[in-house]
Structure 1
Amino acid sequence: MDLRSVPPGGSARVVAVDLDDGPRVRLRELGVRPGRVVQVTHRSAFGLVVAVGADRFAVDARTAAAIGVGAHDGQP
């Protein structure tokens, strides 16, 4: 399952980020790394807007497809 499958308003726990070093490091700096919970706030023509804590940012569809997620069990 990848980030594209999370519905708007839904949350998921990141399990893997399958990208080259540069984009993977940038996502890590933004808080998107294995073990963290991300929330999809809404979808748009370019991809998704996600929230990690209080921060929100856009993720294009290709990048969202490379972010593997699992069920969020309610723990932060």
Structure 2
Amino acid sequence: MDLTQCDPGARATIVAVDVPATAGLRLRELGLRPGAVVEVTHDVGATGRVVAVGAERFALDLPTCASVRVEVGR
């Protein structure tokens, strides 16, 4: 499952992030790395999702959301 399949309010654990190296580095700096628990706070339709990692909130575009594999309810 990836972040595009998560509804607002869903909490999930990141399993893998499959993006180019430069983007992967930036996402890890933001805390979006395997093992991190994220919550989808907003579904902004065709443009992506807003996710929370702890107290931080990030808007991710749809292709990036599709590249973040998660397990819901872990």
Aligned residue in 2 for 1:65: 66
**Identity score, percent:** 52
* CA-CA distance at 1:71 after TM superposition: 2.7
Does the alignment pair 1:40 with 2:40? yes
Encode CA deviations 1:18-60: one digit per residue, 9 max, x unaligned: 0110111111011000001000001114110000000001000
3-state SS of the aligned residue for 2:65? helix
1:50 aligns to what?
Answer: 51
Structure 1 runs of 4+ aligned residues shifted over 4 Å read: none
Q: Aligned-pair RMSD on alpha carbons? A: 0.9
**Which protein has the bigger helix share?**
2
How many Å separate the matches in 1 of 2:21 and 2:35?
Answer: 18
TM normalised by structure 2 equals 0.93
**Distance (whole Å) between structure 2 residues aligned to residue 6 and residue 43 of structure 1:** 9
Size of the aligned set, in residue pairs, is 73
Paired with 1:32 and 1:72, the residues of 2 have a C-alpha distance of: 17
Displacement, 1:14?
0.1
